[in-house]
Amino acid sequence: MGITGLPATLTRAFAPTADPYAGGDIELAHRLGRMLAAASTVIALVLMPFAPPTSAIGNTGWIFCAGLVLISIASVAIERFTGEYTWNKILLINYLGIAQIGLAQWLAGVHAPYRELFILTTVYVAGVHPPRRAVAFLTTVGIVTLAPLFFTPWDASLVASTLALVLIWSALAAVVATAQLAARMDRLGNQRESQMARVDALTGLGNRRAFDEVFEAEIARARRAGSPLTLLLGDLDRFKELNDRHGHLAGDRCLKEVAAVFRDTIRLQDRCFRWGGDEFAAVLTDTGIVAAPMVAGRAEVAVSRQCRDPHGEPVFLTCAFALLEDGMTGDELLAAADRALLAKKESGRALSGAGDASASPAARPEAS
C-alpha cells in the first residue's frame, strides 16, 4: 500500500458500518482468545515467584492474585457451560484482561514484568476486532501502562522503557490491524462472489446451484428432525406465447415481476429459486400436507392479481408440490413434484383456487 493510498485506507477502516465484524471469523477468534488467556495465566504464574504481588499491600496481594486466577478459570467454565459467545462478549473479556494485568502490575510494583503481557492482548484485539474498537482498546492499555509513572519518583530509564513498550505495542497492533483488514476485505469479496454465483442475475432469486445445495441440506435436516418438507414448483402459463408476441424484454420484465411476487408470497427469500426458464421452485421447510396446498394457492392467486402482460392481461402461474416421504431421495422428490406440475398443467385447473375468480378454471386460459 502506497503513501497516497493511506488516507483512503484509513477512512475505510474507521468508517461506521452496519456490521463492523463483517468478514470476521468468530470461531477462530474464540479459539485464539482461549489460547491467549491460558498463555497469559501460565506466564503470570511463572513470573510470580520472581515478582511477588506484595509491593503494594503486602502478603494480602497473594489473595488478590488467587482471585484473579479464579476469575479466569470461572469465566472459561461459564463459557463452556453456556456455549455462548459473541463479539461483544469477547471484547468484554479482553477489557477484563486489562484490569487483571493492571492489578497484578500494581500489586507487584512499578518495575514488575506483568505489563509485558499487554503485548499479547493488544496484538490479539488488533487482529480480531475492527479498527475503531482496537484503537479504543489500545488507548485504554496505554493509559493503564503510563498511569503509574505519575505516582512514582522520576526515573528516566523507567519512563523510556515504558514509552518504548507502548510504542512497540502500537506499531505491532497497527501492522496486525492492517493485515486483518485486508484479510476481511478478501473474505468479504470471496463471500460476495460465492453469493453471486448462487443468484439468478435476472430475478434475484437463487439459481439452480443454490437450489441443489439448499435442497440436499434441507432433506438431510428434515430427516434428522423428523419434520415435514415440501418441494413446490411453479410454471408460467403460455410464457412462450408472451415472448413470441411481445419480445424477450417483455418476457424478462414478466419474469422479474413474477419472481418478486413469488418470493414475497412464499416469505422464504433464501428458499425461493428460479428453477430455469419460466419455472420457479420453493423448498418449504416444516410444511406438510395441510399447509402446502394453501401456500401453492396463495402464490397462484398473488401472481394472477399483481402481474400483468404488456396488454394489461393477468399472468398466471401454475403451482404444484410433492412431500418428502420415508426413503425418498432428492431426485425422487423432484420427480414427484415435476409430475404433479405436469399433471396440473395438463388439467388446466388451479390448485386451492376455488371461490376466487382470478384463479378459477373459467378465468384463466388453458395452461401450456
Annotated catalytic residues are 278
With CA atoms as reference, report the closest residue to 258 among 244, 242, 245: 242
**Residue 308 CA to its chain's centroid (Å):** 37
What residues does 199 pair with on adjacent strands?
206
Which is it for strands 279-285 and 229-236: parallel, antiparallel or unpaired?
antiparallel
**Cβ neighbours of residue 232 under 8 Å, at least 6 residues apart?**
266, 281, 282, 283, 284, 292, 295, 296, 299, 319, 320, 321, 337
C-alpha cell read off for 341: 406440475
With CA atoms as reference, report the closest residue to 229 among 293, 289, 296, 281: 289
- The CA distances from residue 18 to 15, 71, 207, 233, 352, in Å, are 10, 33, 27, 36, 42
Q: How long is the chain?
A: 368
SS3 for 17?
A: coil
With CA atoms as reference, report the closest residue to 275 among 306, 235, 238, 239: 235
**Cβ neighbours of residue 177 under 8 Å, at least 6 residues apart?**
13, 126, 127, 131, 134
